[in-house]
Structure 1
Amino acid sequence: MAGNRVIAICQSGGVFETNDDGFLVYKGGDARAMEIDNRMCYKDLKMELSEMFSFSLDTVVIKYFLPSNKKTLITISNDKDLKRMIEFHSDSVTAEIYVITEEVIAPDVSNRPGSRSSRTTLSEEDVPMGAPSILDDVEDDINRPDLMLDANFCVVDDNVNNACCPTELSLEQPVPVPISFMKSYDERLAKSSQQWQNNITGVGQRFNSVHDFREALRKFAIANQFAFKYKKNDSHRVTVKCKVEGCPWRIHASRLSTTQLICIKKMNPTHTCEGSVLTNGHHATRSWVASIIKDKLRVFPNYKPKDIVSDIKQEYGIQLNYYQAWRGKEIAKEQLQGSYKEAYNQLPVFFEKIMERNPGSLATFATKEDSSFHRLFVAFHASLYGFEQGCRPLLFLNSIFLKSKYQGTLLAATAADGNDEVFPVAFAVVDAETDDNWHWFLQQLKTALSVSHGITFVSDRGKGLRESIADIFQNEGVYHGYCLHYLSEQLIRDLKGQFSHEVKRLLIEDLYAAAYAPTPEGFRGVLENIRSISPEAYNWVQRNEPARWANAFFQGSRYNHMTSNFGELFYSWASDADELPITQMVDAIRGKITELIYNRQTESNQWPTRLTPVMEGKLEKESMKVHSLQVVVSANNKYEVRGETIEIVDVDNSDCSCNGWQLSGIPCCHAVYVISCLHRDVYDYCARYFTTENYRLTYSEYINPIQNIERPNQKNASQGAVVTPPPTRRPPGRPTTKKTGRRDVVKRQLQCSRCRGKGHNKSTCKELLLDG
C-alpha cells in the first residue's frame, strides 16, 4: 500500500462457506475494484457501494476480514471503523470487503444483546450466509398450525386456554420470539464453540500429551454445555465425571506405555442430567482464555479485559470475571511477545548484535550488584552520523515515564533536522529518573559522539542535570539553555498572590515574549509590561538567569527553539512500545527510526528547492518584507538599512543588528535586501543545515535489523552476564494518567458574582453588602 491508500476488492452476491479448518471462504457473486484512502468517509463509501451493486442505501452492510484472521468478520459502521480497516491493511496492496444487504427485519427482542462495535468478533448479524439463524427457527414455528405467538413471547397450543393471545397475527408488526426459542438463541451465542463438539470421540482416541487431552476435554465441555470435575489428574492419567451428581457421564484416559501419548481407555458418553449450562468461567482457565484471544490481541494490542469478558460471553456462552480476563490477556501477551523476565536476560546478546550489525553504534547496559537491571543506553550509528553531519548542534533532553510491567523511565536526546522536524539521536531506559541516571546517560552520549564541541543542550533546569552537563562537557564549549515551558510552570507556582486566570495567562505570554525578544532593548521593554502586572513576577524573572533562556543574552545557538519537549513524536513511539518486553521495546523504537529515515530520504529526493520546504518558506517570508527598505553604504563594508527601524548589516560576518539572522540562521529581511543589492545569491548566506543537500545527508545512513534473538545460554553468554528484571513492578489497579508535552498550568480561579471577590462563589459568600 502506498501511503494511506488501498485498492478495495468489493464483493457481493456470494455466500460464505466454512472450510474444515474453520476458515470462512466467500464463493460466487460479483467483484468490483475501487480505490479508498483515509480521506474517504464511511457515508461516501456506503453510497458508492450501494450504487455499484444497485442496493438500497439503508440495507447495505460492509464487512471485512483482518489480514491474519479468516474466521472473523469485522463490520464497518462509521468513519473510525473505515480508517482502522485501511490501517490494518497498511502492508497490503489490496483489501477484500464484502457488501451484504439486510432485507429481513429482525425480531424485536427486548433482551437480545445490543449491536456490537467493529472491534469485536463475529456477532449474530455476522453469521455466514447460508448458516442457520434464529430467524429460521421463528419462521419454522410460524408455519406450524398448532402454535400461535402472543405479544408476551409465549408459545401457546391451540388446545390450551389462549385468552391472552391475539386472535390474529399481523406480519406487518415485529414478530415476537417465543420463550421456547430463547434457549436456542443462547446456543447461537455460543456458535464459536460448535467446532469443538466432536473433540472427544470415544474409547481409543489418542492425544499427544496430557495437556492436549485436558484442552480438548475443556473445549468439548464448553461446546456441549456441561461441567465436569476431576477424580484423578496427574501426568500419566486423567479421570473425569459429570459435575451433576448421579449423572453417569465419565471418561478415563491414561498414558500408553513407553510413549507420551494419552489414550481414552473408558468412556460413558451418556448424560442423564439436562446438562449444566455454563454461566461462569469454571472451564475457562487463564491458558484457555489466552488461546482464544491471542489472535485478536495480535491485531488489537489494547484489547481490554472488560471487552474480553463481553466477547467470551457472546461467543462461547461463558461468563468470566475481570481477573480471569486480565490474567488470560497477560499470558497471551507473553505468548505473542515472549517472556518479560527472559527479555532482560537477552540484553547481553541483543546489544552485541546491535553493535555487530551496526558498526559505529553504542549499545550498553548496566546491572546492580544483585544482577537486576539498572539502565541501558542505545545510539545507532545512523542517528549519530545524521546528527553530526546534517543537524544543527542542538540537543533536546527530556524524559517520559514508562507503563511497562517493570515500570522505568525513558531518557532521550533528540535534535532538529534541516526541516525543523524531530531527529532521534540517543535514548536510555533507566529504573528511575535520578541525577545519577542523567549523569550516566550524558556520559554515554559523550562517548558516542565523535565531536561534542559547541553543542547547545535544551532541558529543564533540574540541579542534577545542570551540574552533569557542566561537569561532563566542561572543556567542550557546550551551552545549556533552560526549557521555557518548565520556567512558565515554575513562575506560576512561585507567585504567592491571588491572580486571575487571565492575569496568569498574560504573565506567561509576556514571559515567552521576553524569551523570544532578539535584543536587550526588546527584552527590557517586555519586562516592564510584566512589572506593570506584578512586581513580584518582574523580580522573579530577573532572579532566574535570563542568560540561560532569553535570546537577547544566551551565548549558545538555540535557533529559536525554546522548549525541550521538541521530540514528542519520538516519545509517542516509546509510549506505544512501552508494554513490550525490554528487548522488543528497543527493537520497536529501532524500527520506527528506520522507517523515519527511509520515508524522509524518499520524500527529500523529490524536493526541487535548494533549501528544505520549511526553511524555503521562512526565506520567502523575509524576502517579502524588503519592498519598504532603503540601503545606505557605511564604512568598513557595513550597510545601514532603513525601514521601521535602522539596522546595520555586516554581510561578510553574517550579522545584523536586529539579531534575527544570527538567531535563525536564515538571512533577515535587512540582510536579504543588502545581498540582493550586491547582486549576490541569498542562498549562499543561509546556514548549511537548511539545504536540501544537507538534509539528505542527515538521512543517508540506514539501521540494519537485528534478527534471531534467542534465549542465551547462561554458561556460554559472551559477556558472562545474567540480567534479571528490576525489583520494581507495576502496582495493581489502573495507572494514573500523565500527559506529556505542554500542559495548561493556569487554573481558573473562582470569582463571586455577588461581591466580585476571588476564591469563592455566590453560595459561599460571607461579605456584607450595603443596599442602594
Structure 2
Amino acid sequence: MTSQGWVAQRTVPIIQSDPTIGCKELLGHLEDTYGTTIEYHTVWKGKDIAQKEIYGSMRQSFQYLFNFKAEVEKRSPGSIVEVDMKMVHGIVRFNRIFMALKPCIDGFKVGCRSYLSIDSTALTSKWRGHLAACTALDGHNWMYPLAFAFIDGETDENWTWFMSQLNRALGHVSPLAICTDACKGLENAVKKIFPRADQRECFRHLMANFSKKFQGDVFGRMWPAARAYRPQVFNYHMNKILAEAPDVHEYLSIYHSLKWMGCMFDPSIKCDYINNNLVESFNGWIEDYKELPPDELADTLRELVMKLREKRRKIGMKLKGKIIPAIIQQIHNRTRGLKHLKVGKSGVASCEVRDTSKYNLRHVVKTTQSECTCLEWQHTWKPCEHALAFLLDRRNPKWEDYVHDYFSLEKFWAAYAGEVEPLTDRSQWPHVQFPFDMEAPLDKKIGVGRPRKNMYKSFLEGGDGGPKKKKEPKQLGSKNRCKRCHILGHRQSTCPLNGPRPRKRKKRAPRYPVDDDASALEPEVASQQPEVVTPNRHMITMPQSL
C-alpha cells in the first residue's frame, strides 16, 4: 500500500464525521494519532482519494442532483428545484441548478420585509463554479435564506436565468427592493426580470471602485451623504464634493446609476440598509462547506436551512409580548442622552423638537401618522430620537404602538412556521434514468498548482483586488535608480548628494623590519631599539640628587 493509500484509508471515517476538515488539520490529527511524520502533499492526495471513495466521481455527483431534485419534490411539494443542461460539442453537460424550498417561500411572503439581497461566492471544489444566493430580512433583522443556485460563472445569461427562477418562485411581490453589488450582469438581470423593483446598490462596493479614482478628505462626505434620510442633507454633502471634483457627478451617473443613497429609498420597504452585508453573512455562514461536491453541497445547504429554521422557531416560542424584545431594547437604548432635544408641544399627538446641538434645527413630529420631518421614522418604522424625546413625556409609553408589524412576534412566528422536510441519504433517493449520457461541466483553466481558496482582498481591505503581480527584474548598468535622489544612472552609494568621500591615508612602512619571530632580529638592530616605558600612576619618580 502506498503512503497516499494509507492516508486515504484512515481519512475516510474522519471525513464522514467532519466533511469540512482541512488538509492542515487532518495532517496534525494523523501525526498525533499515529506518531509519524507525513508530507502535506501526501495528505492532500490521500484526502482526494478518500473523497472519491465517499462521494464518487464528479460526473456521478452532478447526476445525483437529478435524484436530489426528485427527493425534494417528493418530500416537500411546492418546492422549486430546477436543473439545467446544455450541449457542448455534441455532448450533454450539466449547466446549473436552482433551489427554493416551499417553507422559505411562504415564510418570506407572510413574515419578512420585501427586501432581497443577492450575491454569489466562488466554490472551492474541483468544479470552480459559483454559489448564487438570495437572502431576505426577518423581523429580528436576521438573515433569512430564501433561494440559491449553482452556476458556472457570473455571466449575464446565468444571472438572467437565476432571476427568472426567483420570479417564478416568489410570484408578484409589491413593493419590493433588491440590493446587489457592483456586478453589471446582475444589475441588468434585475432590471429585466423585476422592472418595478426598488433597485439598490451596495455602497461599500461603490466606494471600493470610487476610492480608486478619487482620493481626498472631502470624499469622506460620501458616507454621510449615503446615510442621510433627507434630500437636503444629501445635497449639502454632495455639493461640497462636487465643488472639489466636478467630474464625480458624471462618474456616478455612468457607472453607479442605481439607488445607493438612503434618501431615495422607498419608505414602504422599512429597510434603510445601504450595504449588501446581508448576503455576505450568508457567504460566511456556508464558508466551510464550499469544498463539498455539488450534490452533497445542495443537501448540506438544505440541512443547514432546516436546522436554522427549527432553532429560530424555538427562540420565537420563548419570546413574549407583541413586539420582538430586541427591538424594544433598541428603542430603550436610544432614549438615553436626549437632553439636547427641546420639545415644544402643539397638541396631544404633535410637537416640534429643537436640536440645540445642531444649530437649533427643528423637526415636526406627528405620532398618529408615525411621521417626523427628519424622515427616519418613515424609513425604518421605529421612532427616531425626535419622536422618542416627545414620547418620553408620557407615563409608561407603549412602544409597540409606534413600531410596524414587521417587528411583531406574530410576523416572526409566521416566517418560521413552515418546517423543512427531512430527507434520506442519497442511496435512498429516487433513481432518475437518463435517456442520454450526461457529463460533468468542463473544467476551467485555473493555472498551474493547487487551486486558490481564499478570496482576493479588495481595495478597502488593504489589497489590490487581484492576483499578485510578478516583480519586475532589477535593472542593471546605467538603468539603476538611486534610492536617495531617485535619478536613473547611478546607485545610492555613488550619489552626488553624498558629498566628497573622506581621503584614505596611505599606510607607512615600519622603520624596522617586523617579524613574528623575535629571534630573527639581528642583535645590533635589536640593541638600538629604545625601550618604551608607559607611565603609570603606581610608578615613583626618584629625585635626581640621589
- Please give the TM-score of this superposition, normalised by the length of structure 1: 0.54
CA distances 1:679-737 after superposition (whole Å, capped 9, x unpaired): 87431221111123322222222111221423889xx7367575421112574522335
Q: Give the match for residue 149 of structure 1.
A: none
Number of the residue aligned with 2:288: 576
1:647 is paired with a residue of what secondary structure?
strand
Match of 1:744 in 2: 460
Q: Identify the match of residue 421 of structure 2 among 698, 704, 716.
A: 704
* 1:673–1:347 distance in 2 versus 1, CA, 3 Å: same
User: Does structure 2 conserve the Cα–Cα contact (< 8 Å) formed by 1:604 and 1:692?
Assistant: yes
| 1:420 corresponds to | 141
Give SS of 2:204's match.
helix
Paired with 2:156 and 2:369, the residues of 1 have a C-alpha distance of: 40
Aligned to 1:170: none
The match for 1:334 is 52
Residue 372 of structure 2 aligns to which amino acid in structure 1?
C
Contact 2:352 2:365 (C-alpha < 8 Å) held by counterparts: yes
In structure 1, C-alpha distance between the alignment counterparts of 2:482 and 2:393, rounded to whole Å = 65
Q: Pick from 102, 112, 117 the counterpart of residue 381 of structure 1.
A: 102
Report if the CA contact (8 A) 2:131-2:149 is conserved: yes
The 1-side partners of 2:344 and 2:254 are apart by 40
Partner AA of 1:633 in structure 2: S
CA separation in 1, counterparts of 2:485 and 2:342?
A: 61
Matches of 1:431 and 1:545 in 2, distance apart? 26
Partner of 1:66: none
Instruction: Give yes or no for contact 1:675–1:682 (8 Å, CA) kept in 2.
Output: no
* Residue 387 (structure 2) aligns with: 671
Listed as ranges, the gaps of 5+ residues in structure 1 are 1-282, 749-759
**Partner of residue 447, structure 1:** 168
Residue 515 (structure 2) aligns with:
none
Instruction: Compute the displacement of 1:299 (Å).
Output: 4.8
What does 1:212-611 align with in structure 2 at a 5 Å threshold?
A: 283-284=1-2, 286-299=4-17, 301-304=20-23, 308=27, 311=30, 315=34, 324-369=42-87, 370-474=91-195, 477-495=196-214, 499=215, 503=216, 506=217, 509-531=220-242, 534-537=245-248, 540-541=251-252, 548-555=259-266, 557=269, 559-611=271-323
- Give the aligned partner of residue 343 of structure 2: 630
**C-alpha separation in 1, matches of 2:383 and 2:456:** 34
1:322–1:545 distance in 2 versus 1, CA, 3 Å: closer
- Residues 573 and 589, structure 1, Cα contact 8 Å, conserved in 2: no
1:310 & 1:378 partners in 2: Cα distance? 36
Structure with the higher strand share, 1 or 2: 1
Aligned to 2:333: 621
**Would you tell me which structure has more helix in proportion to its own residues?**
2
Query: Displacement, 1:517?
Result: 0.9
> 2:535: which partner in 1?
none
Contact 2:343 2:351 in 1 (8 A): no
Contact 2:266–2:379 (CA under 8 A) maintained in structure 1: no
Structure 2 SS opposite 1:700:
coil
Per-residue deviation, residues 511-549 of structure 1 (Å, max 9, x unmatched): 121100111121122224434654544664566667611
The one-letter code of the counterpart of 1:487 is L
Q: Deviations over 1:73-102 (max 9, x none)?
A: xxxxxxxxxxxxxxxxxxxxxxxxxxxxxx
- Structure 1 residues 724, 683: closer, same or farther in 2, change over 3 A? same
Secondary structure in 1 aligned to 2:263? coil
Residues 604 and 341 (structure 1), Cα distance of their counterparts in 2 relative to 1, 3 Å cut? same
State whether residues 294 and 336 of structure 1, in contact with CA within 8 Å, keep that contact through their aligned partners in structure 2.
Answer: yes
| Counterpart residue identity of residue 606, structure 1 | K
Conserved in 2, the CA contact under 8 Å of 1:488 and 1:508? Answer: no
Change in Cα spacing, 1:657 to 1:442, as seen in structure 2 (3 Å) is same
Tell me which moved more, 531-540 or 486-495: 531-540
Aligned length: 463
* 1:516 partner letter: R
How far residue 634 of structure 1 moved from its aligned partner, in angstroms, is 7.7
| Counterpart AA for 2:122 | F
Rounded to whole Å, the distance in 1 between the matches of 2:233 and 2:28 is: 62
1:462 and 1:661 map into 2 onto residues whose CA distance is: 31
Name the SS for the 1:710 alignment partner.
helix
Q: CA deviation at 1:306?
A: 10
Contact 1:418 1:695 (8 Å CA) reproduced = yes
CA change 1:729–1:524 in 2 (3 A) is closer
Q: What are structure 2's unaligned runs of at least 5 residues? A: 465-480, 489-495, 500-546
| 8 Å CA contact retained: 1:517, 1:550 | yes
The separation in 2 between residues aligned to 1:551 and 1:309, in whole angstroms, is 50
1:724 corresponds to 2:445: no
Kindly provide the amino acid, as one letter, of the partner of residue 578 in structure 1. K
Of 367-376 and 687-696, deviating more is: 687-696
Matches within 5 A, 1:149-164: none
- How far residue 745 of structure 1 moved from its aligned partner, in angstroms, is 5.2
Give the share of equivalent positions with the same residue, in percent: 24
Distance in 1 (alpha carbons) for counterparts of 2:353 and 2:184: 44
Q: Aligned equivalents of 1:390 and 1:741: distance in 2?
A: 36
1:457 & 1:294 partners in 2: Cα distance?
43
Summarize the Cα distance change of 1:356–1:296 in structure 2 as closer, same or farther, 3 Å threshold. closer
SS of alignment partner, residue 563 of structure 1: coil
